[in-house]
Homo-oligomer: A and B are copies of this chain.
């Protein structure tokens, strides 16, 4: 068994490469939503050959920087890291009770969550095919638990459909699939597919549609115990003398179509979001902390880089110590791996070539806002049987995500009360004060879960365009920028190479940061060993 899909012949691959560029527009649409996701990792990197004491200065102790540090030291380099924050991880970040954070504009928040509760303001899920990240989790002993992306009992909500009443995902999903199957089965029976499907296949197709669509013997999808076995019941089967079940009435296809709730169904089928997904037990920053256990001795925290210079003999980085705010200091090394996010980097004096400079300037960062809300009890579980997963809405909050840990417990809980990625709502919420963001999230959320009003306790809101160490969430490559600038961004420029999710085809994912770093240090090492 290999991890490659079946049925890819080498001959086909060549023609497919041609197809790639044609689909670029759609691909961009998907990557800009943070959807692109797979990984070409083939196991731990092997940096063979002696670097002969060469030194590398790494800028940024996020996953890209710490991956580089871990592997380069192992390969024999002298390594140091400069990090802006007073903690490792960068966007690999978890907020817990007592943590405080000051955003650009000066607003400060202190997280008031109870012990054991947390919010991951940055990455929060790990696909099974992010092999590099999973391998580091394994090597570094980071415990994982499932992240529920699709919870059939979570909700889909459109303000102007169904009188504003949220619908269960299982109903919309099953009823759409059932009625689509019914339509296709009917035209198949009527012989309207004859050109596209052979007579032999037609019979099997009918059978398959009946199974797949929960159709009855006449290929109809309707209220009966067949559809109920998929969509759920009006009265559930039980025990003893009160046990007979009653099916519910499907939502008519026309209503589903007009509601546009079908747009959300793809969120459950995408490769990036397929089962089995993971989250680290205890918070995403368990990964950053595990890396720091290995390379923490190399990190200088609170170091704000202000200038990057290079010449034939090496790299000189000027930085200020944010704690002392004293005289600017300098760090020197033979080489530099720079993982500083592009919106920051583009504002620094840099001694690099025009091509890389143009590339750095060409990539805007997506806005993103995440809001964590603590509630007195896990009412979504107790009252509504929603255990983990995500409800989607066309309200400005876009999503409500339920905790994927502590299931069925008696204590309090933290919801992700809003997750705005890109789009006008993300900018709008960024422009508000943190308190106002939280207030809005509670107000909108109460339209889906009225229990918000009685159960809300406190909240915290991170708007990534106001986060001083990134000035945005993640690299938002346009198609044109990819074509013109991507390779220039990734090339080694003299003694400097860039790494991070922005230097990958998996933007906004930790896997992109790690793969980018591994690719960058492979090329750097090759050059070092050659010289």
Contacts and interface: CB of A to CB of B under 8 A. Distances in A.
A230 B168 CA distance: 23
Interface stretch (A262-270, A392-400, A461-469): A262-270
A253 B265 CA distance: 22
A204 interface: yes
A449 B2 CA distance: 11
B247 A16 contact: yes
A249 B10 CA distance: 11
Contact of A137 (B148, B211, B408): B408
Nearest to A226: B26
Contacts of A129: 153, 232, 236, 385
Contacts of A165: 6
A480 interface: no
A139 to B, nearest CB: 9
A38 B276 contact: no
B20 A232 contact: no
Given A40-B242, A148-B146, A245-B38, A225 B504 contact: no
Interface stretch (A116-124, A176-184, A291-299, A364-372): A176-184
A229 interface: yes
A239 B506 contact: yes
Contacts of A375: none
Interface in A256-311: 257-258, 260, 262-263, 265-266, 269-272, 274-276, 278
B148 A275 contact: yes
Nearest to A208: B262
A135 to B, nearest CB: 9
B240 A516 contact: yes
Chain B CB within 10 Å — which of A276, A389, A504, A515 has the most?
A276
A387 B278 contact: yes
A315 B242 CA distance: 26
A350 interface: no
Contact of A505 (B1, B223, B243, B247): B243
Nearest to A274: B152
Given A20-B247, A152-B274, A519-B242, A145 B236 contact: no
A274 B170 CA distance: 8
A517 interface: yes
A430 interface: no
Nearest to A11: B249
Contact of A239 (B144, B226, B236, B503): B503
Nearest to A378: B138
Contact of A247 (B19, B150, B257, B513): B19
Contact of A387 (B16, B24, B128, B265): B128
Interface residues of A, number: 152
Interface string A149-181: 011110100000010011110110110110011
Nearest to A451: B1
Contact of A385 (B128, B503, B512): B128
Given A3-B384, A244-B505, A40 B235 contact: yes
B23 A232 contact: no
A338 interface: no
Contacts of A30: 225, 229
A519 B238 contact: yes
A503 B240 contact: yes
A36 interface: yes
B515 A239 contact: yes
Contacts of A8: 234, 248-249
A312 to B, nearest CB: 24
A246 B23 CA distance: 11
A245 B505 contact: yes
A4 B165 CA distance: 13
A71 to B, nearest CB: 14
A22 to B, nearest CB: 7
A354 interface: no
Contacts of A197: 183, 253-254
Interface stretch (A81-89, A96-104, A185-193): A185-193
- 10 closest A-B pairs by beta carbon, nearest first, are A240-B519, A239-B515, A239-B516, A38-B236, A237-B505, A239-B504, A5-B248, A152-B274, A243-B505, A40-B238
7 contacts: A177-B269, A214-B269, A230-B266, A237-B506, A241-B523, A276-B388, A278-B408
